[in-house]
Amino acid sequence: MHSIAVAGHICLDVTPLLADKARIDPGALIEVGPLSISLGGAVANTGTALTNLGIKTVPYGTVGDDELGRLLLAKLSQEGFRDPHLAVSEKLATSYSLVVEHSGTDRTFWHHTGANAEFDGASVSANGHGVLHVGYPPLLPGLLENSGSPLQELFTRARAEGVTTSLDLAVVDPHSAVGELDWGAIYSSVFSHSDIVTPSLDDLTSALRIEEPYSPALVQRLADQLIVDGVAIAVISAGEHGLYLKTASAERLRSGGKVLEPLADLWADRTLMIAPLPVPHPVTTTGTGDASTAGLLYGLCAGATPEQALSLAVACSAAVMDGRGVTVDNLLRHDATLASVLDNR
């Protein structure tokens, strides 16, 4: 099985268990539940799921020289990351998100970018890996200078070494500094170097300033544009509406590095939609998109069909949502047909 380098945004998620009526009320004392502190960001979320599935995963990112940074490194070790390549910033604090989750609603993030601002990809060595996955460029200002040229350079270097490149996006805050960037130009140039792209619908519409509500036609149009921009495999997550897959020609897939080349004929010119798996008692939605990406990448590395890889992706999301996490046993609990893919570990 190919190893995977996972690079980019990493933080700690600080999540208080809130009562349904918790609120911000100056001067008031409001009772909330216990606090949990866990790894967060694309590097940790996608990387942990891949590690739990038995794939050697090497994380790359930047933390601060502070207590949170030391805690983050300790948690990476606890999660089975044996060889983390994390730079330590002398100026910026470790990134964290305060995750506010109310029962029955999507979560809200209060986020500090922190040391992630210094990550520019220069220290990433993709050579020897099957896949280089980069997560959350809107939260990585160092990758966005000169219209995203550091990210383009990182992917160009990886592809020259035969490594398959993978990119996951994040919602763009229109009120932040990065919200003023020309994301259409940045993404169209970066996508030409991206073999796999796995955004959510909100990632794309927020970046491209699209106010159109969800429709299958909107998702299809955006996926088609990703392929036109040069992506080999585009998978758009539309929340409760499921995952939408669009792939390019066999010729494009054969130029997609050591993971995609042998799958070119099997995956070429495909369009596929799959519904999410039901989770009767959801515990969290944090990290479900990253887990979905991990499932897709695992499926590709295992030589799975598009149907098998998407089934694994939605099962990984469900495994996070039910609170048990991505493990082989939990995935098979959600979908027993995945045994044939997971046996390829």
Element (H, E) at 36: strand 35-40
Task: Report the SS3 class of residue 271.
Answer: strand
Q: Among positive and negative, which fits the CA dihedral 7, 78, 335, 344?
A: positive
Q: Which two tokens stand for residue 259?
A: 């993971």
Place 19 in a pLDDT band, splitting at 50, 70 and 90: low
Average per-residue pLDDT for the chain = 92
Per-residue model confidence (pLDDT) at position 64: 96
What is the token pair recorded at 258? 């050591």
Rounded to the nearest 5°, which phi and psi values hold at 96? -150, 160
Residue type, 279: V
Under the banding of pLDDT at 50, 70 and 90, the label for residue 101 is low
Phi, psi of 329 (to 5 degrees): -60, -40
Rounded to the nearest 5 percent, the helix, strand and coil shares of the chain are: 45, 20, 40
Backbone angles phi, psi at 258, to 5 degrees: -65, -20
pLDDT of residue 20: 65
Amino acid letter for position 263: L
What pLDDT does 309 receive? Answer: 97
Please tell me the predicted confidence (pLDDT) of residue 58.
94
Q: 3-class SS at 264? A: helix
Closest C-alpha among 165, 161, 240 to residue 198: 165
Beta strand extents in the chain (DSSP E only): 4-8, 11-16, 35-40, 57-64, 85-89, 96-100, 108-112, 131-135, 164-168, 196-197, 233-237, 243-247, 271-274
Radius of gyration of the chain (CA): 19
Average pLDDT score over residue span 268-278: 96
Question: Vertex 199, ends 198 and 202: CA angle to 5°?
Answer: 160
Each domain of the chain, given as residue ranges in start order, spans 1-24+31-119
Per residue in 286-315, pLDDT tens?
889 999 999 999 999 999 999 999 999 999
Cα separation, 7 vs 154, in Å, equals 11
Beta strands in 250-315, from DSSP E residues, in sequence order: 271-274
Q: Which amino acid is at 54?
A: G
The token duo for 43 is 């590097």
Q: Are 85 and 123 in contact (CB under 8 A)?
A: yes
Coil/strand/helix, residue 2: coil
- Structure confidence by residue, pLDDT tens digits, 197-215: 999 999 999 999 999 999 9
Class of domain 1-24+31-119: alpha beta
What confidence tier does 103 reach under pLDDT thresholds 50, 70, 90? low
pTM over 0.75: yes
- The string of DSSP letters for 243-258 reads EEEEE--HHHHHTSHH
Tell me the CA distances in angstroms from 257 to 49, 188, 198, 330, one per residue in order.
Answer: 22, 20, 17, 31
The single-letter code of the amino acid at 225 is Q
